[in-house]
Amino acid sequence: MTCCEGWTSCNGVCLLILLILGVALNAVPLIFNLIEEDRFPQNPISCFEWWFPGIIGAGFMVIPATIMSLSATKRACCNNRVGMFLSSLFNVITVLGAAYCIWVSFQALLEGPLVCNSQGNSTANCKFSFKNLSAVHQESFDLQWYLNNSCIIETLNGFNNPTSSDTMAQHTIIHFSVFLGLLVVGILEVLFGLSQIIIGFLGCLCGVSKRSQIV
């Protein structure tokens, strides 16, 4: 196995781990809300998990490259120039999906969970449009909603339940942990994807190893 095939195989394993991690992280706020509210549509932790950055961006869009790269372990379809070229091509999809995951996660970290939204904790206030997703608010870069817990203090007056502050704190921590994790997953997938694009083209140009024939 050449260095191109070895790195491709390693990339496949790493992408598989990141793929599973991305899907699991994206599912956390959805499952938490299902357990807490016993139904999906009401009171999610935020609007951004419904863009499925980990399930679609860091998940499904990474599957083709992962399968192609893992095949290098058995020296199958990556044991030729065409296979290495296809591994590079599929990793372009990986980079695009990971970039989508990064952008949605970045926006989620800037906006904060719905408990920080003065309009109320409901999906009715979520506007799902790419125009809305691309709007970056400069005043949100300091992450004050998490560092100072300011959103909990501001919205606490709107709740009569004395335990609501604990629920808000849970939502804030889960929101921050999930989307910070997805941001890291997306960045790592971009790095692995770009490296495989380069390695794939090198394998395509220079060739790969062949099974030795017993005479």
169-181 burial code (b ≥16 CB/10 A, e <16): eebbebbbebbeb
Would you place residue 132 in the very low, low, confident or very high pLDDT band (cuts 50, 70, 90)?
Answer: low
Q: Residue 1: its pLDDT value, please?
A: 45
Boundaries of every domain in the chain: 3-42+51-206
The secondary structure of the chain in percent helix, strand, coil, rounded to multiples of 5, reads: 75, 0, 25
Average pLDDT, the chain: 76
pLDDT tens-digit map of 168-199: 777 788 889 999 999 999 999 999 999 989 88
H-type alpha helices, 38-114: 63-70, 81-111
Comparing 103 with 76, which gets the higher pLDDT? 103
